[in-house]
Amino acid sequence: MSCPKTEHLLQEYFADDLAPLTREEMENHLRFCDHCSAELEALMLAQSSLNHWQDQRVPHWDRGMELFRREHRVPSPGFSFWSKLQWVPSAASFAMLAILLLNVTVVSSDSGISISFGANKIESALLESRLFAFEQQQEADMDELVQRFEDRQDSNNIELLQAVIDQTQQTTAENLDLIYAFFEQQRLQDLEDMRLGYQELVDSDYATIRSLQQIAQFVSYQGDIR
Amino acid sequence: MNLTDEDEALIAAALNGSTYAWEKLVKRYESKIYNHGLRLMGNSTDAMDLMQEVFLGVYRNLHRFRGDAKFSSWIFRIAYNKAVDLGRRKRLFSSHTRVGEQEEMDVLESIPGGASFEPEKMVVDQEQNQRIIAMLGKLPIEQRLIVELKVFQAKTFQEIADVQDVSENTVKTRFYTALKKLKVASEENHVLS
């Protein structure tokens, strides 16, 4: 059963700006007209079904930030020098973690550097033997160094002693020469003194003899007088 | 500070080159615009295209915003114009049944990652949204835009008439016609489900 008023009436109903009198009239009609009320209910249901919309999340996008930064000449945080290196601490942490977890061992030897993962007994035995060989090598090197040092010290000491002896010998010879010259001088002086002494003695003897002769002459003279 | 004042403060800061203000402004409206696009376009790809075009339009014309109207009204007017353009480009006027065709893909694409991820609720919400998109897909773009503005944006017929540059009566007639089509689509949905 259709109603000639339905189309116009419901259009007005949904126009939501009806005057109070018109609304009352409409509600009276709807109360008695099954067709119109059923149609209204269906339309209301269709409208209300739209209200079940649930807002969906926006997929990721850059929100025009790149354009905004470019046009306002704002430096992008991703382009500064330090930002470029932001991965470095993470990479270093990751590397350290990997080294710890994998028990990485780095061995440096004469044949180069070897990197091994994990630890085992064979490796520790190898390490011990290498350590022993290294100690032996160190000991041999040390001995050789000590020997070389001693040799050098000895030669230095010999040179020093030789120099001291030479110096001493030279000094002694000079001193002996001086002593010899001094003795010679003293001897010559003594000889001269002796010669002078003998001369004086001789002179004294002559004087004594002359005195005696004078005394004798006097005595003889006195005797003659008597 | 109310939302309108906050919007104006953010606009002023963004015009002075504040990236933070611009990002906050975008974040404030992106969900509304994206969901608006989903209902009008029927799939997330076109909704994203619409949203990006809307914000590009906002960015290019931000200095022209005088604060005579609310920013929300202004941005939805831009969204309306962009939707009409995009609809024209995609021939939505002639073959509007295309809306909702990419249903399966959209469900997968729009599942977000994050702390609030609830799979069951997500699936139910997605199904409801897809039913709504399918119903709206039965309408030509003019009617779909009127339903969008009237039901989802809660605009008055006068405001819709202003946005669409048509008479208020035309809007009312189109809205009623759209409701009748939605009723048919809704009944078909019930029969199918």
Question: What is the spatial distance between Cα A67 and Cα B56, in angstroms, rounded to a whole number?
Answer: 9
Looking at the complex, report in whole angstroms how far the Cα of residue A93 sits from the nearest Cα belonging to chain B. 26
Domain boundaries, chain A: 6-48, 87-119
Higher pLDDT, residue B117 or B172 = B172
Q: Which of B136, B116, B108 lies closest to B37 in space, CA to CA?
A: B136
CB B41: neighbour CB atoms within 10 A? 29
Confidence at B29, pLDDT banded by 50, 70, 90: very high
Looking at the complex, report in whole angstroms how far the Cα of residue B154 sits from the nearest Cα belonging to chain A. 11
Q: Three-class SS string for chain B? A: CCHHHHHHHHHHHHHCCCHHHHHHHHHHHHHHHHHHHHHHHCCHHHHHHHHHHHHHHHHHHHHHCCCCCCHHHHHHHHHHHHHHHHHHHCCCCCCHHHCCCCHHHHHHHCCCCCCCCCHHHHHHHHHHHHHHHHHHCCCCHHHHHHHHHHHHCCCCHHHHHHHHCCCHHHHHHHHHHHHHHHHHHHHHHHHHC
Looking at the complex, report in whole angstroms how far the Cα of residue A120 sits from the nearest Cα belonging to chain B. 45
Contact A49 B27 (CB under 8 A): no
ipTM above 0.85, yes or no: no
Contact B38 A56 (CB under 8 A): yes
Output Rg (C-alpha) for chain B, integer angstroms. Answer: 18
Cβ-Cβ contacts under 8 Å, A11 against chain B = 172-173, 176
Residue ranges in chain A assigned as alpha helix (H): 6-14, 20-32, 34-50, 65-72, 81-84, 87-102, 121-225
Do A59 and B109 meet the contact criterion of CB atoms below 8 Å apart? yes
Backbone angles phi, psi at A117, to 5 degrees: -110, 135
Percent share of chain A, pLDDT over 90: 33
**Which residue, among A16, A52, A53, A65, would best test binding to B if mutated, counting the most B CBs under 10 Å from its CB?**
A53
Name the residue in chain B with its Cα closest to that of A62: B23
Q: Quickly name the fold that domain B3-192 has.
A: Rna Polymerase Sigma Factor; Chain: A (1.10.1740)
Residue A196: the pLDDT is: 92
Q: pLDDT by residue (tens digit) across B100-152? A: 444 444 444 444 444 445 666 667 777 888 889 988 988 888 888 889 988 89
* CB pairs < 8 Å spanning A and B: 107
Contact B23 A61 (CB under 8 A): no
Mean pLDDT of chain B: 80
> In residues, how long is chain B?
193
Q: pLDDT by residue (tens digit) across B49-74? A: 999 999 999 999 988 888 777 888 88
Q: Among all chains, which residue has been given the structure tokens 């202004």?
A: B74
Q: Which residues pair with A116 in a beta bridge?
A: A105
Contact A59 B48 (CB under 8 A): yes
Question: What is the spatial distance between Cα A42 and Cα B186, in angstroms, rounded to a whole number?
Answer: 9
Residue B176: which of A14, A51, A74 has the nearest Cβ? A14
Cβ-Cβ contacts under 8 Å, A53 against chain B = 35, 39, 128-129, 132, 152
Of the listed ranges A32-36, A169-173, A187-191, the one predicted with least confidence: A32-36
* Residue B102 per-residue DSSP state: T
Q: Which residues pair with A115 in a beta bridge?
A: A106
Cβ-Cβ contacts under 8 Å, A43 against chain B = 179-180, 183
Q: pLDDT by residue (tens digit) across A188-220? A: 999 999 999 999 999 888 888 888 888 888 888
Q: Which of B10, B44, B19 lies closest to B133 in space, CA to CA?
A: B44
Residue B93: the pLDDT is: 46
> In residues, how long is chain A?
226
Looking at the complex, report in whole angstroms how far the Cα of residue B110 sits from the nearest Cα belonging to chain A. 7
Residue A77: the pLDDT is: 59
Q: Which of A184, A198, A15 lies closest to B176 in space, CA to CA?
A: A15
